[in-house]
Amino acid sequence: MRLVIQRVKSASVTVNEKQISSIGPGMLALVGLHLEDTETDLQYCAKRLLAVKLWENANGAPWRQHVKQKAYQILCVSQFTLYGTLSKKNQPDYKLAMKADRAREMYSQFLDMLKEGYEKEKILDGAFGEMMDVGLVNDGPVTLVIDSREGMLGRQMPSASQTDDADEKKSASK
């Protein structure tokens, strides 16, 4: 699973000239599913997305707070093209992307994981399988990639609540 995340001041999704989702400050996450992804990949990416520290803390120290600490929103947009490759003729090929029916199910499961790990109303998404106009105002800009195939090699990810606990312990010890 691959996420391209951007810290945003605002973001929105429009389908057929009708805005279907919009957020204020938070993150826009483009979500790509690899044909071999499993629930473990979904869990890894959900935990990382909720735990990534993109904002400064109250003292102005950068990269100290995650989306939950700021009470910001996340807008997820399904994007199979994240697993596109180019042929020798420079034509896109999406054979590494999960097929639509299974991807729709896995994407929905990923959104459920985010909602369970945060607040349901703070997780928004686009329209799976539709042509979407995605608008955003970058904050920074800050853009990162989370890839379960790279990140899960030989290490375990702490849960978002474990990350919160570690942050609180660090703050208390200062």
**62/159: higher pLDDT:** 62
Cα(27)–Cα(138) distance, integer angstroms? 9
Look up the pTM and report it: 0.86
As a whole number, mean pLDDT of residues 44-63 equals 97
Q: pLDDT by residue (tens digit) across 121-171?
A: 999 999 999 999 999 999 999 999 999 998 776 444 444 444 455 555 554
Give pLDDT, residue 146: 97
Give pLDDT, residue 133: 98
Q: pLDDT by residue (tens digit) across 19-41?
A: 999 999 999 999 999 999 999 99
Q: pLDDT by residue (tens digit) across 70-123?
A: 999 999 999 999 999 999 999 999 999 999 999 999 999 999 999 999 999 999
105 closest CA partner among 131, 82, 78, 76 = 78
**Cβ neighbours around 78 below 10 Å, total:** 25
Give pLDDT, residue 163: 46
Give pLDDT, residue 174: 47
